[in-house]
Amino acid sequence: MKSILPFFLLSLLIVGCQTQPSSNRKGAAESPLAHTVFFTLNDNSDGQKARLVRECQTYLKNHPGVIYFAAGTLADDLQRSVNVRDFDVSLHLVFRNKAYQDAYQTAAAHQEFIQRNQANWKQVRVFDSYLR
């Protein structure tokens, strides 16, 4: 999986840097949608962080319309002044479009993931963005 991440990030950069007149752009609802979630845990032991990553893989990876999935933990060795370090686990999903992300929000597996894990969530931050 480590070898896929640099390719994915480079692809996002290339796609994001393309400039098109607004009249030629896809409508937002038809663009890929990046759904990124940062979890801060009450019990942020290594075991609990690994457990949440496994839970993400079990319940969130195979939803219809997902074109990219990753879950992982804070990169402890990256401590530059620009690095945000106030989270324990991150989840990264890219959906084919908004309709797939909307369906994911109410899907039984997503709801079960929330039920099983929310007791250990101190803070959850969600960043959604359309990709061009």
CATH number at residue 48: 3.30.70.100
Domain count of the fold of the chain: 1
Q: Between residues 97 and 22, which one has the greater pLDDT?
A: 97
pLDDT digits (tens, 9 = 90+) for 116-130: 999 999 999 999 999
Per the structure, the complete domain to which residue 79 belongs is given by: 4-130
Which single residue is written with the structure tokens 């219809």? 64
Closest CA to 92 of 119, 60, 51, 65: 60
pLDDT for res 105: 98
CA count, 13 A, side-chain hemisphere, 110: 13
Query: How many angstroms separate the CA atoms of 9 and 28, rounded?
Result: 21
Mean pLDDT (whole number) for 76-91: 93
pLDDT greater than 50 at residue 24:
no
pLDDT for res 6: 52
